[in-house]
A and B are shown apart, each in its own frame.
Chain A
């Protein structure tokens, strides 16, 4: 089915480990985004990408790395996980142009760092 899918749905890891969260979209949307959602902070932008091989920092990029070698995939890597990175992570995408100012979200990955 068309849409945006995230994996894994749940992940438990330990501090210091590297973790990669996957995001795949089938709409051929140009833009993809990673947000984290925490109580008291709402949705905060980590990184976004305007196209393959073009990425830029958001509001809270420290400790995260992204890549976008293919339009449809936008993985998020926590290089050395910390407890403060325990959160729910959402990937989102949107099309290009002023008529496409709508974000579509995946179902999220709940990450616990112990």
Chain B
């Protein structure tokens, strides 16, 4: 079983839709949760960063962490064609192993004009 599971998609939505991207994980020791956006032929760009459980909002983006269910989500409101990219979840924070990051395989999102 992978440490982090993420549906690869692709996910295709019309412009203006609300997008929900999700990851599940198996290691209850994770404390830090990140979402990265990766455009084609570019490096991953940090989008959202959350410590422990709860919600964090930044503009059209909301990140949710539910540690009891080992489930994290990224919501994109009023999606735009410029949001078309691959979204990677990542997590870290194992005791004595802070430098190890676990990545999902990425969900490819296509927002149609």
Contact = CB atoms under 8 A, between A and B. Distances in A.
Interface of A: 31, 42-43, 45, 48, 50, 90, 98, 101-108, 110
B63 interface: no
A45 B102 CA distance: 9
B99 A50 contact: yes
Per DSSP, are chain B's interface residues mostly helix, strand or loop, or mixed? loop
Interface stretch (B37-45, B53-61, B69-77): B37-45
B43 A48 contact: no
Contact of A48 (B32, B45, B99, B103): B99
Contacts of A45: 100-101
A110 B40 CA distance: 12
B98 A105 contact: no
A31 B92 CA distance: 14
Contacts, number: 45
B113 to A, nearest CB: 27
Contacts of A48: 99
Given A43-B88, A48-B99, A50-B99, A102 B46 contact: yes
Interface footprint category on B: 20 to 34
Interface of B: 31-32, 34, 36, 41-46, 49, 51, 88, 90, 92-93, 98-101, 103-106
B106 A42 contact: yes
A104 B49 CA distance: 12
A102 B45 CA distance: 11
A110 B46 CA distance: 20
A107 B103 CA distance: 18
B34 A102 contact: yes
A104 B34 CA distance: 11
Given A42-B104, A42-B105, A43-B88, A105 B43 contact: yes
